Amino acid sequence: MTEPTDVGPDRDLGRRLRSLPVPDHGDEFFDRLRGRLAAESAFTGAPSYRGRSARVIELSAARPQPVRRPPSRARRLVTLATAPAAAVACFALVVGGAVVVHRPGDRGTPRPIESGTRWSADNRTVDRPDRADRLTAAAPYESTERGLAIAFTTRASSRAGLVQSSYQATVTPSGDYRLLRTAPRLEAAYSAEHRTRRLARAAGAGTAPVVEQQDLPLGPPDGPALSTPDRQLSRDLAAAVRAIAVEQPGRVSRGELMGRPVVTLDEPLEPGAGFTEGSQTVDRVRIVVDEQTGLPLEVRLTSAGALFREITVQSIDETPVAPASLTPTAPDEVRPPATSLGHRPVPIDDVQSVTGRAPAVPRWAPDGFQLTGVTVAGSLPTTGSNPASRDVVTLAYRRGYDTFTVTTRLTAPATGPAGDGWRNPLVDGTYLPDRTDPTPLVGGLLDGRTAHVGIYPLVWPHLWVEAEDLVVTVAGDLTRGELVRVAESLTPHTTR
């Protein structure tokens, strides 16, 4: 973006804005319009432009007016609850009563684990809030982990036809990854420990411009789970298939692919269950999932028989991860511009001092999952039709390549319009359908609430529930029963 002048357009920004996609109309748009106009003409007697006295067209200059509502009683209570002890009590009060249910097998609050990967920037200030000014471009990863080397291709329909891309990816159980696309060259490297991602794309024969993104969201609903390069290797699709395989085994088949046990979902989508993009509606899915890693080995989404999006894994091999293999190449002298996405890492014991209330922590998680990250976002702009949210606390859990997140958010900003009620945070703002089932919760902070549970293709298995001024989501590599049990085990975290 170039420096703007006082008047006139910012031409660089304008060029980038004009490169954003513009969807076509639906197929029957002009037929529908023609019908409405014809009806209008018949009703008005086909008025003539000429021969009528001219008049000024009064177009209302309506501008958005803030909708102000008195704060709800619950919100007033939260606002007043500034003392830590009061905050804990308030949290329990507004969420519905701190009824802690201990189930057999409860393991208490999972403990954080250390990532096996270290980010060795030239200086060690990367976990400081002001680190954006301190990072250098030479930030090699040092890793002794074993990971997966994955070669895959994607094909996607576009207005210019099918676009095919080939990728080499390396992922680790700690969540680090490196992604390389050969043509046009694109590199991405992600440090799970620091939620920092670097992206570089070749600029012809010159050096690769690099950007850095910090404080990335730990997972859905605020971002894709960062266990793999999900944007390219849509792991959410695979997670849904695994959950469906547990819930409705008759819908899937099992077999082998590349010598690996796989589960396959290959079925048409019910009307309204797909999503529409441009003029295409995805109406059939074929998703083959590696049972050991949960990675999709084959994804094929079609629209009326035509390819919409395809992912094909050519090879997947366990491999030691050499430090250099996770290093994004960048010229040493370049300091990449850094962008914070707002999800600051905060120790679990410090969340209450940041947000004013104790975080909700599950007292139960499936065997093997451990807490690996906690972030707080003070405020997030709205996406979709949901209101803006603040004090978004995300807890991320990992078990090898499996992940899930528990997120709580206040549903309205401190000032301004109150929320109008929420829609499914996992799909609102996308063209994906909302096909959740109401499920009553028993136990924990959410006792008596009705959760909405979604296990269906194209979306992470997820649960969301409104509780006064909070929206709680659980999403990731979980089955329906696990989602519900995690939600029912939520209790306020107590500082050790």
- Enumerate residues 287-316 that contact another protein by CB under 8 A: 309
For another protein, the binding residues in 112-151 under the rule CB under 8 A are: 132
Residue 241, φ and ψ in degrees, nearest 5: -65, -40
Contact 295, 316 (CB under 8 A): yes
368 touching another protein, by CB under 8 A: no
Sole binder of another protein in the list 278, 323, 400, 413 (CB under 8 A): 278
Sole binder of another protein in the list 104, 160, 271, 496 (CB under 8 A): 160
Q: Coil, strand or helix: which one is 408?
A: strand
Q: Least distance (Å) from another protein to the CB of residue 19?
A: 7
Q: Which two tokens stand for residue 174?
A: 């700690």
332 touching another protein, by CB under 8 A: no
Q: Least distance (Å) from another protein to the CB of residue 67?
A: 7
Q: Which two tokens stand for residue 440?
A: 């009553």
Name the β-bridge partners of 210: 200
51 touching another protein, by CB under 8 A: yes
73 touching another protein, by CB under 8 A: no
CB closer to another protein out of 68 and 146: 68
428 touching another protein, by CB under 8 A: yes
Stretch that binds another protein, among 120-128, 204-212, 262-270, 396-404 (CB under 8 A): 204-212
Q: Least distance (Å) from another protein to the CB of residue 131?
A: 13
Stretch that binds another protein, among 49-57, 71-79, 102-110, 345-353 (CB under 8 A): 49-57
d(CA 218, CA 203): 30
Contact 376, 351 (CB under 8 A): yes
Q: Least distance (Å) from another protein to the CB of residue 446?
A: 26
For another protein, the binding residues in 377-406 under the rule CB under 8 A are: 381-388
276 touching another protein, by CB under 8 A: yes
Bridging pattern class, strands 470-476 and 402-410: antiparallel
100 touching another protein, by CB under 8 A: no
Q: Least distance (Å) from another protein to the CB of residue 20?
A: 6
Contact 407, 393 (CB under 8 A): yes
260 touching another protein, by CB under 8 A: no
CB closer to another protein out of 38 and 80: 38
Q: Which two tokens stand for residue 356?
A: 């004013």
For tokens 């989602």, the residue is 483
Q: Least distance (Å) from another protein to the CB of residue 337?
A: 5
25 touching another protein, by CB under 8 A: yes
Sole binder of another protein in the list 97, 112, 129, 184 (CB under 8 A): 184
17 touching another protein, by CB under 8 A: yes
Sole binder of another protein in the list 70, 108, 204, 250 (CB under 8 A): 204
For another protein, the binding residues in 434-473 under the rule CB under 8 A are: none
Sole binder of another protein in the list 140, 209, 345, 366 (CB under 8 A): 209
d(CA 236, CA 93): 34
Burial (0-12, 13-18, 19+ Cβ within 10 Å), 128: exposed
d(CA 247, CA 265): 13
d(CA 95, CA 7): 51
Stretch that binds another protein, among 116-124, 178-186, 395-403, 462-470 (CB under 8 A): 178-186
Sole binder of another protein in the list 317, 318, 420, 437 (CB under 8 A): 420
CB closer to another protein out of 49 and 111: 49
List Cα–Cα distances, 443 to 31, 264, 309, 406, 486, in angstroms: 54, 35, 42, 16, 10
Q: Least distance (Å) from another protein to the CB of residue 378?
A: 14
d(CA 9, CA 333): 32
50 touching another protein, by CB under 8 A: yes
CB closer to another protein out of 10 and 267: 10
70 touching another protein, by CB under 8 A: no
Stretch that binds another protein, among 32-40, 121-129, 240-248, 255-263 (CB under 8 A): 32-40
414 touching another protein, by CB under 8 A: no
Burial call 139-171: b when 16+ CB within 10 Å, e when fewer: bbbebebebbbbebebbebeeeeeeeeebbbbb
Q: Least distance (Å) from another protein to the CB of residue 338?
A: 6
63 touching another protein, by CB under 8 A: yes
CB closer to another protein out of 220 and 356: 220
CB closer to another protein out of 245 and 427: 427
Sole binder of another protein in the list 266, 277, 350, 466 (CB under 8 A): 277
Contact 214, 201 (CB under 8 A): no
Q: What is the DSSP string of 289-354?
A: EETTT--EEEEEEEETTEEEEEEEEEEEEEEE--GGGGPPP--TT----EEE-S-EE--GGGHHHH
d(CA 225, CA 459): 12
d(CA 399, CA 371): 9
d(CA 378, CA 265): 39
Amino acid at residue number 271: P
CB closer to another protein out of 181 and 242: 181
33 touching another protein, by CB under 8 A: yes
